[in-house]
Amino acid sequence: MQTPEQRAWVENLHALRRLASSAEIAKSALYLAADLSGLTIGAALFADGGASIARA
């Protein structure tokens, strides 16, 4: 982001009102690679902080 105002505008697009850290995105990827996701098939995993549900 170029300015604090631009960052705030982008953060406001997300339901969580913040941007994800790189560690949070990595955890989502690791979940899909782990045995814990063994029954997760045919589904989309949105690691977007709720941006996909916040738009009308």
Handedness of CA 6, 48, 16, 29 (dihedral sign): negative
Structure tokens at 4: 């604090």
Rounded to an integer, the average pLDDT of 10-33 is 90
User: Which of 24-28, 38-42, 52-56 is predicted with the least confidence, judged by mean pLDDT?
Assistant: 52-56
The count of domains in the chain is: 1
Structure tokens at 2: 């170029």
Give the pLDDT score at 46: 86
Give the pLDDT score at 1: 64
Please give the mean pLDDT across all residues of the chain: 86
Domain boundaries, position 13:
4-54
Question: What is the percent of the chain where pLDDT is above 70?
Answer: 93
Mind listing the pLDDT tens digit for each residue in 33-48?
Answer: 999 899 888 788 888 8
